[in-house]
Amino acid sequence: MNKLKQCVAFDVSKDKLDVCFSVIDSTQKVTIKATRKFINQLKGFEELDAWICKHNDASLPLVYIMEATGVYYEQIAWHLYNRQQAVIVILANKARQYARSLGLKSKNDKIDSVGLARMGAEQNLPLWQPLSKLFYQLRSLTREVESLQAHKTVLTNQLHALAHGQFENKSTKKRLLALVTLLDKQIAAIQQEVAQLVETDADLKRKIDHITQIRGIGVMSAVTVIAETVDR
């Protein structure tokens, strides 16, 4: 039986990487060669590189696969990408669906990495292309707006409750209104920054102009959708 392909899979969290090294042969049998944990920072990446060299068969293709886990996957993905490695990043729901198809129902990091290792070995998945600096900026800004709007909702709810209570504390109301005003100013400033960034990219501006022709969709909504899905 000839070996066809190798796959290194990562279950990524804020502090650690659960890693599984697998190989698939001509009968489509996937064998787990090794598993190990590494810290999710540069020192861990260097140890990972040495570990990969120990297990890698240079005559076989090698791919790396991980879920898009918040921002925690980005450093290891960039580390591998900068070393000209074949990196695959998939959505978490796609990985869960595949794991269920294998009967891997228990939820723990080792099982997750094993499921991903089989998936990367068996399937021909598209390689990850990192975002440009512009899209990283836009994603950061749109997420900041989302966070500020959530804070504003909390404050407006507090104001509503204050207004309908038996006794209204005027000093509390004044402070809450001041915070809402500050949040409005910050949101407006970010929206202006987003608009200025969009103007720097002609292709992006054409996409935004096209999407915003749909009734009810504004610039921020369009930018948010594009920034969150451009690398998926």
pLDDT tens digits for range 104-141:
555 544 557 777 888 888 888 899 988 788 998 999 99
Give the integer Cα–Cα distance in Å for 55 and 12: 20
Contact 21, 6 (CB under 8 A): yes
Give the mean model confidence (pLDDT) for residues 175-198.
96
Give the mean model confidence (pLDDT) for residues 199-204.
92
The CATH number fitting domain 3-122, selected from 3.30.70.2740, 1.10.3720.10, 3.30.420.40, 3.40.190.10: 3.30.420.40
pLDDT at residue 106, rounded to an integer: 53
Give the mean model confidence (pLDDT) for residues 54-80.
92
Range scoring the smallest mean pLDDT among 70-74, 92-96, 192-196: 92-96
pLDDT at residue 167, rounded to an integer: 76
Q: What is the pTM of this model?
A: 0.70
- Of 100 and 213, which is predicted with more confidence? 213
Contact 73, 67 (CB under 8 A): yes
Token digits of residue 100: 């269920």
Contact 32, 114 (CB under 8 A): yes
Range scoring the smallest mean pLDDT among 19-33, 38-52, 87-101: 87-101
State which of 163-172, 191-200, 223-232 shows the largest mean pLDDT: 191-200
Return the amino acid letter for 185.
K
Give the integer Cα–Cα distance in Å for 34 and 7: 11
Contact 227, 140 (CB under 8 A): no
pLDDT at residue 108, rounded to an integer: 47
pLDDT at residue 134, rounded to an integer: 92
Give the integer Cα–Cα distance in Å for 32 and 44: 21
* Mean of per-residue pLDDT scores for the chain: 89
% of residues, the chain, pLDDT over 90: 64
